[in-house]
Structure 1
Amino acid sequence: MDILWSVLLRIGQTAVEASSTLFVGFFVAAVMRRMLGPESTRNLFGGEGLKGLFRAWVIGSLLPVCSLGVIPVAREMRRAGVPTATILAFVLAAPQLNPLSFLYGLTLSEPIVIICFVIATMLLAISGGELWKRVFEKPSDSLLPCDEPMAPPGIKRLISVVVSAAKETVSPSMGYILIGILFTGFFAGLIPHGALSMTMRHDDWKSPALMALISLPAYSGVLPGMMRIGLIFEHGNSTGAAFLLFELGVGFNLGLIVWAMSELGWRRGMLWLLMICVLVLGVGYLMEQPLYFAKEEAVHTHAFDDWTSPFPSGSNVSYEVVLGKLMQKVEVLEPVALGGILLLFILGSTLYCFDRVGQVEKWLTTLPPVSEAPVGVWNRGVPGPVLGVVALLGLVVFSMVALYIYYPDPKQAFAEIVRVRTEASVAVRTGKKEEAIRRIQQWDLLTRKLQVGVFIRTGSMDPEVGKITEDLRERLEDLRDALLADDLTKAKELLPIVEKAYGKCRACFKFNE
C-alpha cells in the first residue's frame, strides 16, 4: 500500500509542479494559432537557416514554459509549417531558460557557472537543429501549413483563443503530457526513499552519465530543477551532473520524447536524440573541473529526494499524510493554473462531445456583414500578428511579475519563516517526526526564496549573507537527517544550534532591509 501512496503522491506532485508552465503553454499555442496565424508564426521564427535557429533559441528563452508546456507550442509550430530544425532548436531551449530560472540561477553559485550553462544551451540548441537539418532531414518532413480562416477583430478573436486553448487540452498534446506525468510518478514512487542521496558526487566520474540516465525520461519543472541544481552546488556535488540536470532533466521528459519520435520517426528521432545526449554528456564532462568551485563535498544530498519514494520503508502512510505533502507543492500560482486547466478541459471536452463538426469555430471565424456604423472599441481592426506579439510579450511580463510574487521581499519572507519555524520546533519537541520534516523542508525552501527575493530587488547578494544563510540550511539539513534516522534525542539537541543559525540569518537580512 505504501508503494501505491508513493506513486499517487509523486503523480500529483508532478502535475502540480507542471501546472503553471503547462497552462502558459496551452495559451501560447492558442495565441499562435488564432492571433498570429501560420504565416506570422513562420515569420516570427525566422524561417530556414541559422537565423531561424537562433531566433528559436531567443524566443524559447523568453517564454515561461516547461518540457511539458512546450509540447502544445511545438505542435502548433509544426502545424504552422515552421521548419523541423527550428522547432527542435526551440524545444531544446524553451524548457530550461526563462527570466525566472535565469535570475534564480545567478544566486545558486558563481554567476559564471550559470552563464556558461546558458551559452552551452544556446550552442546545443542551434547545433541540435543544424544536426537534424544536415544529417536526418528529408524533403517529406516538411508539412504544408494548415491555413484556416482567422477570427475577425474583436471579441470573437479573444474567444477563439480560449476555444483553441480548450481544444488543445483534449488533443494528442494532453496524451503526451500525461505520459510524462505518469511515468515520472511511477518512476519516482518506485525508487526506494533516499536511494539517490549518495550519488552525483564530484569525485565519481560516473555522476554525469548517471544523471543523464535518470533525468532524461523524468519530468522536472523549471524552478524545482534549478533548486535541485542549487543543492548540487551547495553540497559540492558534480558540476557535470548539474549541467546534465539543467539540459536533459529540465529540458526533456518521456512525454516530450514520445511526441518527438512520433513526429520525426522513431529510428531517425532516436539517433538524433542519442547524438544530442552524447553532445550534452561531453559538455558536462568538460565542465566538471573548470566550473567546480566548492571547497568541500557533502557526504550525502537531498537534491534528488523528489525522484525517489517520499516515504521511508516502514512509514505509517495515510491519506492525511499524502494530502499534506501534496499541498506543500501548492503555492500562489498553482491553484489558478490548475483551475484554469480544469476549466479549459471541461470546455474542450464539451466541444469535443457536442461540436465535432466545428460549428463554434465556424461562427467565430465568420466575418461580420459590412456596415458603415461606428466600430465599437472591442471590434477595432488591430492586426492579429500585432496582438499575437503583444500577447507573447505579455507572457514575458507576466513571468517577471510572477517572479516578484513567488520570491517575496525579506519582510514577507520572514513573516512566513517565523510561522514555519515555530511549527517545526513544536513538532520536533513533541516527537511529530513527519510534521517536523515537512516544516523543515518548507523552512529550507523559504530561505532560498529569501535570497532570490533580495537578489531580484537589489541586483546583488552579499557573499557573507549568502554564507550565513547557507549555514542555516546546513543546520536544517542536520536536523532533518536526525529525524530521518529516528534519532529524536539528537534532533532536540540540534534545535538550539538551528536557532542560533537562524538568529544570525535574520540579523543579516534585517540589516539589509
Structure 2
Amino acid sequence: MDRLFWGVVLRTTQSALQAAPFILTGLIITGVLHRLMGHAATRRMFGSNTLTSLAQSWVIGMLLPGCSLGVIPIVKQMRLSGIAVGTIFAFALSSPLFDPMSLLYGLTLSKPETILAFALCSLVVVMVCGGLFDRWFPNTEVQAEEPRATPHGIRRVAAVLLVMMRESVGISAVLIGVGLLGAGLLSLFLPAGSLQRTMAHDNPWSPLLMTVIALPAYATPMMAMGQLGSMFQHGNSIGAAFILLTFGAGMNLGLVAWMGWNYGWKKTAIWFGLMLGFVIAFSYGIERPLYPREIEPADHTHAFDTYCQPFLPGFPPPNGYPAEIALKLRRETQPHEIIGAAALLVLAIGGAALRIFDPSQRVEAWLARPRDEATLPAGRWDIVLPGPVLAVASLAVIVAFSVMGCFAYYPSASESIEELRLANSEAMDGAMTRHAAHAEHWIPLCQSWNRRLLVGMYLRSGTVSDYVRMKSKIYRDQLELLEHMVEDEDPPEELRRQALTSTRAYLALSRAIRETEAKSSL
C-alpha cells in the first residue's frame, strides 16, 4: 500500500511541476483578457458560434503556449466573455497540442507530413464537433457584466496581478487539482512497465487502449511530442499516437469537470461523445496511410512508463519512499519548472491573503476609481493606450517569448554536441562502473540532447541531412540498447562493450555534425 500511495504522490507532483510554467502562462493570459481586453473585445478576438470563430480560436490556440491544465482559467474567462462552448473548446483543444516549440520538436521526430496531418485532423475535429454542438445547443453564450475599467498606468498592471492571484486559489485551482489527481490516480491501475509492449501497429485495439489511458493522463505538449517520437521510432500505432496527442495532451479530467459544472452533464456527455467518435475514427483512418513502412517495429518501448507505477513491487527504496521521491524530483525537474512553481506559490500566497482579508474585492474597487487626469504630470513620451491594444500587445509578447524560447531550448549544434559529450561521458561511466542509478539518470539526458540537437539544426537551417539523421538514429538505438542492459543487470563485460559501442556512435554523430557545419560554412 505504501508503494501505491507514494507512487501517486510522485506522479502527481511530477505532473504539477511540469505544468507549472504553463499554468503561470494561463493565469497571465486570463488576467490580460479580464482586465485589459474586457468581455466585448475578447469575444471579438475569438468570435463565437460560427465556423469562422472555431478556426480563429484554433489558430490562436496554436500560437499561444499552453497545456490542458493551463487553459482552464482561460476557458473560464472566455465563458464569462460570452463565447459559445464550441469556440471555447476549439481553443482549449488546440492550445495544448501545438505551440512553436513543440511543433518544431515534432517536425524533427517524424516525417513533417505526419505532424502536419495530426494538426489538420485536430482542426477538422474542432470544426466538426464544435459546429455540430453549437448547432444543437445554440444558446451556450452567457451574459456577464463587463468588468469595470481600470485607469491607465500601474493600476492596470496591479489589476492584472490581482486577477492572477485570485484565480490561483479559486475554482480554477480546484479544477487543475482534479486534472493533476487524475494523472496521479492513473498510476494506481497501471503496474510498473505494464505498457511497454502495448500500442503495436498491428494490434487493432491499440487506439482504444490508448483512449482509456490518455483521458485521465496529463502530458505537456513537449512530453506528448517526445512520446510520439518514441512511438514513431519504435513502429507503434499511428492511430494511438494521434489519440495520445489529442486526449493525453489536449484533455484532462479538470476540463471535463469544468464543462459538466457549467453546462450540465448531459451536454458534456454529448460533446465528449462527439469528440470520442471523431477522434477514434480519425485514428483508425490515418493508421495505414501515415505508418512509416521503413521502420522495423520494436518489441517494447519505455515511452509510457511515466503513466505507470514508478516503484516495483518487492523492491522498496533503501532510503525510503520520501527520500527516493525527493531524489527523483531533484534530478528530473527543469529550471523553468522550478521558476514556474515558485511564481505560482507566490501568487497562491497572495491569493489566499486576498480571500481572507479582502473577499469583497475592495482593492479592485480602489484601483478602478477614476482619477483626475488634469492633476497628473504629462511627459513627452506618455501615450495612453486602450486596454485592448495593450492586451493584444501582451499576447504578442507571449508568442514572441515562445519563439525566443525555441532558440534557447534548442541551442546551436556546437553547443548541443558539447552538452551531449558531457552527458555521454557520465552515462558511459555509470554503465561501465555498474552504477545503475547514475546511468539511468544520464542515458535519458543523452537521448534528450540527441533530439534537441536535431531540432536546433532544423530551426537554424530549415533542414537536417539524412546523413546526420542516420548517425543520430544509430546513437539513439545504441543508447536504448545500453539502457535495457543496465536495467537487466547484464554482465559487466557486456555492459562495457555496449558502452564503448555507444561512445563510438556518439563520436560518429559528432563527426557528422562537424562535417555538416564545415560544408555549410563554405
Do they fold alike, i.e. is TM over 0.5?
A: yes
Q: Deviations over 1:102-146 (max 9, x none)?
A: 1111111111111111111111111121121122x153x321123
SS at match of 2:257: helix
Deviates more, 1:385-394 or 1:363-372: 363-372
Letter of the aligned partner of 1:133 in structure 2?
Answer: D
Q: Distance in 2 between matches of 1:3 and 1:415?
A: 40
Mapping of residues 10-409 of structure 1, within 5 Å: 10-135=11-136, 137=137, 139=139, 141-188=140-187, 190-295=189-294, 296-317=296-317, 318=320, 319-371=322-374, 373-376=376-379, 380-409=383-412
Q: Deviations over 1:356-407 (max 9, x none)?
A: 1111101111111241543358974210000000001111001111111222
**Does the 8 Å CA contact 1:6/1:190 hold for their aligned counterparts?**
no
Q: Distance in 1 between matches of 2:153 and 2:267?
A: 44
Letter of the aligned partner of 2:54 in structure 1?
Answer: L
Residue equivalent to 2:520: none
Q: Does 1:494 align with 2:493?
A: no
Q: Distance in 1 between matches of 2:360 and 2:376?
A: 33
Residue equivalent to 1:413: 416
Letter of the aligned partner of 2:178 in structure 1?
Answer: I
Mapping of residues 463-474 of structure 1, within 5 Å: 463-474=466-477
Q: Deviations over 1:47-82 (max 9, x none)?
A: 331111111111111110100001000000001111
Q: Does 1:478 align with 2:481?
A: yes
SS at match of 1:229: helix
Deviates more, 1:177-186 or 1:367-376: 367-376
Q: Distance in 1 between matches of 2:242 and 2:413?
A: 30
Q: Distance in 1 between matches of 2:419 and 2:380?
A: 44
Letter of the aligned partner of 1:96 in structure 2?
Answer: L
Q: Distance in 2 between matches of 1:210 and 1:64?
A: 28
TM-score (ref. length: structure 2) = 0.94
Residue equivalent to 1:505: 509
Shift of 1:190: 4.9
SS at match of 1:255: helix
Distance 1:496 1:157, change over 3 A: same
Q: Distance in 2 between matches of 1:329 and 1:361?
A: 40
Letter of the aligned partner of 1:491 in structure 2?
Answer: L
SS at match of 1:242: helix
Q: Distance in 2 between matches of 1:309 and 1:468?
A: 34
Q: Deviations over 1:468-511 (max 9, x none)?
A: 11111111111111122222433233111111111111111222
Shift of 1:316: 4.0
Shift of 1:148: 2.2
Q: Distance in 1 between matches of 2:376 and 2:505?
A: 71
Q: Distance in 1 between matches of 2:149 and 2:380?
A: 19
Deviates more, 1:392-401 or 1:484-493: 484-493
Q: Distance in 2 between matches of 1:488 and 1:300?
A: 22
**Does the 8 Å CA contact 1:155/1:378 hold for their aligned counterparts?**
no
Residue equivalent to 1:2: 3
Q: Distance in 1 between matches of 2:44 and 2:375?
A: 34
Q: Distance in 1 between matches of 2:182 and 2:48?
A: 35
Q: Distance in 1 between matches of 2:504 and 2:90?
A: 49
Distance 1:216 1:379, change over 3 A: farther
Shift of 1:162: 1.0
Deviates more, 1:1-10 or 1:244-253: 1-10
Q: Distance in 2 between matches of 1:131 and 1:48?
A: 10
SS at match of 1:26: helix
**Does the 8 Å CA contact 1:100/1:399 hold for their aligned counterparts?**
yes
Q: Distance in 2 between matches of 1:268 and 1:47?
A: 18
Letter of the aligned partner of 2:496 in structure 1?
Answer: K
Residue equivalent to 2:427: 424
Letter of the aligned partner of 1:22 in structure 2?
Answer: I
Letter of the aligned partner of 2:240 in structure 1?
Answer: A
Letter of the aligned partner of 1:115 in structure 2?
Answer: L
> Percent same amino acid among aligned pairs?
34
Q: Deviations over 1:260-300 (max 9, x none)?
A: 22122112211220221110000010000000114210111
SS at match of 2:108: coil
Shift of 1:188: 2.4
Distance 1:324 1:462, change over 3 A: farther
Aligned-CA RMSD value: 1.6
SS at match of 1:303: coil
**Does the 8 Å CA contact 2:186/2:216 hold for their aligned counterparts?**
no
Q: Distance in 1 between matches of 2:8 and 2:124?
A: 37
**Does the 8 Å CA contact 2:65/2:399 hold for their aligned counterparts?**
yes
**Does the 8 Å CA contact 1:189/1:310 hold for their aligned counterparts?**
no
**Does the 8 Å CA contact 1:71/1:173 hold for their aligned counterparts?**
yes
Q: Deviations over 1:219-276 (max 9, x none)?
A: 1111000000000001111111111111111101111111122122112211220221
SS at match of 1:460: coil
Q: Deviations over 1:146-183 (max 9, x none)?
A: 31211111111011111111111011000010111122
Distance 1:111 1:367, change over 3 A: same
TM-score (ref. length: structure 1) = 0.96
Structure 1 runs not aligned, ≥5 long: none
Q: Distance in 1 between matches of 2:189 and 2:422?
A: 33
**Does the 8 Å CA contact 1:16/1:329 hold for their aligned counterparts?**
no
SS at match of 1:64: coil
Letter of the aligned partner of 2:433 in structure 1?
Answer: T
Q: Distance in 2 between matches of 1:43 and 1:292?
A: 41
Distance 1:204 1:437, change over 3 A: same
Distance 1:466 1:313, change over 3 A: farther
Q: Distance in 1 between matches of 2:424 and 2:438?
A: 12
Distance 1:477 1:189, change over 3 A: farther
Distance 1:435 1:377, change over 3 A: farther
Q: Deviations over 1:297-345 (max 9, x none)?
A: 0111111111112233333424443223223432242122111111111
Shift of 1:349: 0.8
